[in-house]
Amino acid sequence: MKTKDSIYPRRLPGVRFNLSDDVFFIIRKKIMTREIRPGDRMNIDSLSRDLNVSQTPIREALARLEETGLVIKEPLKGFRASQLLNAKEAQDLFNFRSVLEPYAAKIAAEFSTKEQIEQMYKEIDFAKEIQNLSGIEAFEKLAEHDENIHTQIFEAAGNALLTKAYKASHCFLHLYRLHFIRDVPVDFEETMTEHAAIISALEMGDSHEAFSAMAQHIDNARNRFQYPAI
């Protein structure tokens, strides 16, 4: 077991870092990308050997992931990646979002700065390149763009508790989404149009319009997941 093979140098003098945090994000990414799939057992020893770190940071990372709900722990059996959402839980998720997000959009319309609006338009410009892509890559990029826009709106609303609740729900949406890899072009057009409508409302400071545009967007998203293609 060579220390130099670790994901990080043993200890960089003067540089603050935190192995547990890094391990946390690495493992979460493995789950989000389905390298670790729902229901998979997550062996502490194996993870420790794979990432070439001791068991302690692995345990801390898994404990945090358990708190988020992405992994579950069975005493004396170990950790497993949690199961995907069933139909009822998915509906609950969309209901949850349809409560949080329109409100966030409303508040964002009142408080978002010019810089924040500018950043949102930039994000939309970046995303326009997605139409040149196809397949799983296009799908992933669109999902990433969607997360970025929504996160920006929540942050513009400026309520940390609200943002945290959104982020907690988002990882489940992402995993659920992977069940329904659809033909992107149709979704792409619709999603982009809806996002543009929301941000336009934010820019004008029209909180009522922002609210209903977001409500419509979530509702449409729910329907897009309703009829899975591919």
Rule CB under 8 A: which residues touch a second copy? 16-18, 20, 56, 59-61, 63-64, 66-69, 73, 75-76, 89, 92-93, 95-96, 99-100, 103, 107, 158-162, 164-165, 168-169, 172
Q: Which of 14, 115, 125, 132 binds DNA (CB under 7 A)?
A: 14
What is residue 37's DSSP assignment? P
Query: Is 149 near DNA (CB under 7 A)?
Result: no
Q: Looking at the chain, how many residues does it have?
A: 230
**Side-by-side strand order, sheet with 71-74:** 41-42, 78-81, 71-74
Query: Is 132 near DNA (CB under 7 A)?
Result: no
- Cβ proximity to DNA: between 63 and 196 the closer is 63
- Cβ proximity to a second copy: between 41 and 122 the closer is 41
Query: Is 43 near DNA (CB under 7 A)?
Result: yes
Residue 38: CB minimum distance to DNA, A: 17
CB atoms within 10 A of CB 130: 21
d(CA 30, CA 36): 5
Query: Is 63 near DNA (CB under 7 A)?
Result: no
Q: Assess contact for 60 and 71: CB atoms under 8 A.
A: no
Instruction: Give the pair of three-digit tokens for residue 176.
Output: 């659920």
Residue 172: CB minimum distance to DNA, A: 23
Q: Considering CB under 7 A, how many residues would be counted as binding DNA?
A: 28
Distances (CA, A) of 23 to 27, 60, 65, 160, 162: 6, 9, 11, 24, 26
Q: Assess contact for 202 and 117: CB atoms under 8 A.
A: yes
Alpha helices in the chain (DSSP H): 19-32, 44-51, 55-68, 87-111, 114-127, 135-157, 160-177, 184-204, 207-226
Interface mask toward DNA for 19-38; x: CB under 7 A: xx------------------
Residue 197: CB minimum distance to DNA, A: 46
What is residue 40's DSSP assignment? -
Query: Is 214 near DNA (CB under 7 A)?
Result: no
Q: Which spans of this chain sit near DNA (rule: CB under 7 A)?
A: 1, 3, 6, 11-14, 16, 18-20, 41-45, 53-57, 59, 73, 75-79
